[in-house]
Amino acid sequence: MTDTATTPERRRLTTNYTPVDRVFRGSMTAGALFSLVVLALIAAFLLYRGFEIFSDFGFSFITGEVWNIGDPMDTSTAVLGIGAMLVGSVLTAVIAILIAVPFAMSAALFIEYYAPKSVRTALTALLDLVAAIPSVIYGIWGYAVLLPIVEDWSVPLERWLDFIPIFDVPSGIFGRSPFLAGLLLSLMITPIVTSVAREVYGQAPRDLVDASYALGGTKWGAIRNVVLPFGRSGLVGGAMLGLGRALGETVAVYLTLNLVFDINFRILGSAGGNVASLIATKFGEATPYELKALMAAGLVLFLVTLLVNFLATVIVNRSRRIV
Amino acid sequence: MTLQVDATFGRGGFNRHAAFEVAPGAVLGLVGANGSGKSTLLHTIAGIDRVRSGRIVLDGQVLDDGTEFVEPQDRRCVVVFQDLRLFPAMSVLDNVAYGPRSHGAPRADAHARAREALAKVGLAGFEGRRPDGLSGGERQRVAIARAVVTNPAVLLLDEPFASVDADSRPGLREVLRGVLTGSEARTVIVSHDPSDIADLAATVVRL
């Protein structure tokens, strides 16, 4: 039987921070919260400036294809919708991903499993350099160098594949097309996807790779049966990070894609656009009401990009935890 | 036509020397304390690690003598690792069929051989399961089946009883005896407990 007189007193657990601890903890917390505060302020600003547009047009602002400011003195004549631009954003981003991911996978596997050490170091540094090239440089290069090549190749491609609707171009006008923009975006996002893929593939269990060799497997067999299954979710996360970058890319798309307000899935035709290039194109000459519409478009782009990047981070972090 | 080992091996500052021969169909036990280099020696015979000096010869072919080196996948040596290293993304059947498939066997043939090997270790009916759904003893048997299905010239078993409880050890010993009986493989079994391999190995070498 317990003697209550000798029952030990419940201990209160406390942490006594010194003043230096408190200052350090406070400044680190402020630093961490700062980026969240900035994010929230940007969202609040865009919502505040664009709210009138959402209340005037409702959901049709997101689905509508027409962008007509009407009479600048009478905002009721305006018909504004970013549906065509949203579709263009997704279309160019998907083209970019479809081209970038196979290249990124191949590059990552080569760097991790085939390249000699000196080549590996050089290639990794080169990829980081390519990732740092400003978007405007890509845009100028795409316009000056890639555009004539894509224009030349679009004609026979359309002739061979016009039975597939996305390759058919009834207007016969090629050039600054979603395909060109997507191709350029793929070059821009390949370093990001390669970097994530390389990190994930490099963490594949070495003991399982050795087991594959010890059973008579080749290097490709080890990669196919151990490395690729292991790196699957990490690669998806990397692709989504690239997708987030492609969705928000402005200058490169602005220089390589003709802005046409028409939902267009014909990737070789000279028509399209994305939300970011819409904002860049219209911002300089926008009326006050149109400016609000651009803010609202920016909010939609902001939320979509935030969601894609959040999902990508969750997937990549989950693939790291599996290690 | 033997496996001849007369080599110094090790990693970092650790060096050990071993010298022995294993004839076709013979079983050699390798015992020693923890850290004596038993697993490292197996890995060196398999080609995962390299000799420091000396040589490893199989049926007259030099596998490793410091200059000549035959890659692991070309050695006809198979290892049953201490940590088993079953492929988690594959079924039991695909795990066991991996070796034959790697050597170019058609899928149907490889699966047939795998089923035969699983039956031999008492795991008929386990083909569709995944490694993470098996007990330690069952995983050990899958690893043994995966090794023997390739009819290797050299079979290397690293602490096969380590992941098995005392009650299950007699059963696993019987499985191994059944697998090794009639096999032409030169077999090396590593254990830190000599009693585990006393009735399996004709010769015992202590590191």
3-state secondary structure of B32: coil
Q: Is A213 on the interface with B (CB under 8 A)?
A: yes
B124-143 mean pLDDT: 92
Judge: B48–A208 Cβ closer than 8 Å, yes or no: no
For chain B, how many helices (H) and strands (E)?
A: 6, 9
CB B115 within 8 Å of CB B194: no
- The answer to whether residue B192 sits within a structural domain is yes
- pLDDT score, position A228: 92
- Chain A interface, best mutation among B39, B85, B151, by max A CB count within 10 A: B85
CB pairs under 8 A between A and B: 58
Q: Which domain holds residue B132?
A: 87-151
Query: Looking at B151, B167, B195, which one is the last position of a domain?
Result: B151
CA A40 to CA A45: how far, in whole Å?
A: 8
Judged against a pLDDT cut of 70, whether residue A39 lies above it is answered with: yes
By CB atoms closer than 10 A (0-12, 13-18, 19+), residue B24 is middle
Q: What is the DSSP letter of A216?
A: T
- pLDDT score, position B166: 82
- pLDDT score, position A3: 53
A251-273 per-position pLDDT tens digit: 888 888 888 888 888 888 888 88
Strand partners, B64: B56, B69
**B65 and B166 part of one domain:** yes
- The answer to whether residue B176 sits within a structural domain is yes
Average pLDDT, chain A: 89
Q: Is B200 on the interface with A (CB under 8 A)?
A: no
- The answer to whether residue B130 sits within a structural domain is yes
Residue A75, both tokens: 């905002």
Residue A89, both tokens: 């954003």
Residue of A44, A58, A51 lying closest to A292 (CA atoms): A51
Between A193 and B102, name the one with better pLDDT: A193
3-state secondary structure of A174: coil
Name the percent of chain A lying above pLDDT 70: 97
CB B70 within 8 Å of CB B61: yes
**B160 and B176 part of one domain:** yes
Place of tokens 């098996």: B134
B113-136 mean pLDDT: 92
Residue B145, both tokens: 């089946």
Name the percent of chain A lying above pLDDT 90: 46
Signed CA dihedral, B11, B17, B21, B27: sign only: negative
Count structural domains, chain B.
2
Of B47, B71, B85, the CB nearest to A211: B85
A108-162 per-position pLDDT tens digit: 999 999 999 889 999 999 988 988 899 999 999 999 999 999 989 988 988 898 8
Residue A301, both tokens: 């782009």
A39-55 mean pLDDT: 92
Judged against a pLDDT cut of 80, whether residue A319 lies above it is answered with: no
**B98 and B165 part of one domain:** no
- Chain B interface, best mutation among A209, A212, A213, A215, by max B CB count within 10 A: A215
Which ranges in A162-227 belong to alpha helices (H)?
178-202, 206-214, 219-222
**B49 and B146 part of one domain:** no
Of B83, B89, B98, the CB nearest to A215: B98
Judge: B102–A208 Cβ closer than 8 Å, yes or no: no
- pLDDT score, position B126: 94
By C-alpha distance, the chain B residue nearest A219 is: B73
Judged against a pLDDT cut of 70, whether residue A2 lies above it is answered with: no
DSSP secondary structure letters along A293-311: HHHHHHHHHHHHHHHHHHH
CB B89 within 8 Å of CB B110: no
Q: Pairing state of beta strands B154-158 and B186-191? A: parallel
Residue of A195, A166, A175 lying closest to A265 (CA atoms): A166
Of A211, A217, A230, the CB nearest to B81: A211
Residue B49, both tokens: 């690690």
**B15 and B65 part of one domain:** yes
Angle at A136 between CA A262 and CA A279, to 5 degrees: 40
For chain A, how many helices (H) and strands (E)?
A: 13, 2
* Separation of CA A2 from chain center: 65
**B60 and B159 part of one domain:** yes
Which ranges in A71-177 belong to alpha helices (H)?
83-109, 117-131, 135-141, 147-161
Q: Which domain holds residue A288?
A: 83-321
Judge: A214–B77 Cβ closer than 8 Å, yes or no: yes
Strand partners, B69: B64
Distances (CA, A) of B156 to A40, B135, B186: 61, 22, 8
Confidence band of A323 (pLDDT split at 50, 70, 90): very low
- The answer to whether residue B67 sits within a structural domain is yes
**B129 and B164 part of one domain:** no
**B107 and B64 part of one domain:** no
Position B6, amino acid:
D
- The answer to whether residue A88 sits within a structural domain is yes
CA A97 to CA A99: how far, in whole Å?
A: 5
**B10 and B67 part of one domain:** yes
Judge: A213–B72 Cβ closer than 8 Å, yes or no: yes
- The answer to whether residue A227 sits within a structural domain is yes
- The answer to whether residue B174 sits within a structural domain is yes
Count structural domains, chain A.
1
Q: Is B139 on the interface with A (CB under 8 A)?
A: no
**B91 and B143 part of one domain:** yes
- pLDDT score, position A4: 55
Q: For residue B79, which residues of chain A lie inside 8 Å, CB to CB?
A: 211, 214
Q: What is the CATH number of the domain that holds A232?
A: 1.10.3720.10
CA B120 to CA B139: how far, in whole Å?
A: 14
Q: What is the CATH number of the domain that holds B69?
A: 3.40.50.300
Q: For residue B147, which residues of chain A lie inside 8 Å, CB to CB?
A: 215
B54-95 per-position pLDDT tens digit: 999 999 999 999 899 998 888 889 989 888 899 988 899 999
DSSP secondary structure letters along B110-168: HHHHHHHHHHHTT-TT-TT--GGGS-HHHHHHHHHHHHHTT--SEEEEESTTTTS-TTT
Which DSSP helix (H) or strand (E) runs through A232? helix A228-248
**B132 and B202 part of one domain:** no
CA A310 to CA A151: how far, in whole Å?
A: 36
**B72 and B1 part of one domain:** yes
Judge: A212–B99 Cβ closer than 8 Å, yes or no: no
By C-alpha distance, the chain B residue nearest A215 is: B99
